[in-house]
């Protein structure tokens, strides 16, 4: 299981150009990918059960991507075998008035997974250095001190946001949360083809909005924003994984592979009972057998 090919190596990542959007490295076809996927999900089920029982670690999965990359379907397929009692999914869209009245990390921080659970962020606080960076006029809605003009949203401003994110993630990791961050790397051509499917297939019409097409005009700006985000926030404690997204079957398998690898590193085990607890079990067993007799 080699996930290094997806890793945006902290301190060394420079550009997305070094990562292909259509790679299927190490897998011959869709059938093979599905076989691997089934095995990964089975192993993840066991690890999730241990995670829940151990109750000393949490796992946070973060998905970021351009529209049409397949975040929703990837979450659906990869987490298909996970016990919903131990999993929480949050989809962060346009912030509410209440959320805008708090700091930019507030709305996601209150949704962080507790120990024993897997939290999934479909988009996240990273939107604050992505869509907001491409459309900096959105900053003015946040009523920040001394930021009353778009010209004041400069490189120093963004650098402070990256630092806030890194500080948060460092704090979470040091307190038992494993953070696994995915950028689903989609080509502009593949996005166009997926948008056309949404338009041409009636059952998918609801997935398309004209605003999605308007955002394609900012494609290069978004690619620059993603590169900066990954460069500044892929750290040793919370690195980014860049997953080829043009082939959905490969993307889903790759995501499952990374999650499984990282969860295995936690060395999860079921809790070991002490002598007194074992004695309690023996007494309980004896009482139950007597009742049945």
Residues 6+ apart with CB under 8 A from 34: 249, 253
* Enclosing domain of residue 123: 4-292
pLDDT at residue 163, rounded to an integer? 98
Among 232, 184, 181, 241, CA closest to 7:
241
* Secondary structure of residue 242 in the 3-state scheme: strand
pLDDT tens-digit series, residues 102-134:
999 999 999 999 999 999 999 999 999 999 999
pLDDT tens-digit series, residues 246-263:
999 999 999 999 999 999
Strand partners, 241: 7, 182
**Dist. CA 117–CA 107, nearest whole Å:** 19
**Dist. CA 107–CA 55, nearest whole Å:** 24
CA angle 82, 128, 20 (to 5 degrees): 65
Count of domains forming the chain: 1
The CATH code of the domain that includes 119 is 3.40.50.300
pLDDT tens-digit series, residues 62-77:
999 999 999 999 999 9
| pTM for the model | 0.94
**Dist. CA 262–CA 240, nearest whole Å:** 12
């Amino acid at each position: 299981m080699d996930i290094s090919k997806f890793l945006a190596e902290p301190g060394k990542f420079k550009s997305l150009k070094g990562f292909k959007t259509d790679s299927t490295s190490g897998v011959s076809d869709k059938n093979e990918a599905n076989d691997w996927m089934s095995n990964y999900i089975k192993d993840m089920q066991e690890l999730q059960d241990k995670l829940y029982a151990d109750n000393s670690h949490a796992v946070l999965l973060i998905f970021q991507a351009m529209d049409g990359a397949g975040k929703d379907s990837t979450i659906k397929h990869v987490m298909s075998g996970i016990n919903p009692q131990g999993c929480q999914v949050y989809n962060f869209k346009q912030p509410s008035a209440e959320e805008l009245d708090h700091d930019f990390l507030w709305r996601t921080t209150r949704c962080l997974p507790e120990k024993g659970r897997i939290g999934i962020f479909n988009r996240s606080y990273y939107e604050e250095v992505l869509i907001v960076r491409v459309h900096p006029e959105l900053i003015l809605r946040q009523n920040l001190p001394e930021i009353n003009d778009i010209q004041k949203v400069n490189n120093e401003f963004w650098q402070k946001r990256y630092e806030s994110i890194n500080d948060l993630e460092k704090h979470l990791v040091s307190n038992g949360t494993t953070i696994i961050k995915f950028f689903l790397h989609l080509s502009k051509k593949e996005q166009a083809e997926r948008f056309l499917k949404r338009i041409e297939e009636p059952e998918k019409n609801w997935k398309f909005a004209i605003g999605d097409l308007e955002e394609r005009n900012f494609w290069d700006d978004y690619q620059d924003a993603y590169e900066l985000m990954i460069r500044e926030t892929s750290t040793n404690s919370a690195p980014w994984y860049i997953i080829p997204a043009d082939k959905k079957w490969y993307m889903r398998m790759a995501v499952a592979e990374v999650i499984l690898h990282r969860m295995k590193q936690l060395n999860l085990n079921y809790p070991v009972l002490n002598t007194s607890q074992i004695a309690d079990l023996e007494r309980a067993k004896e009482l139950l057998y007597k009742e049945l007799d």
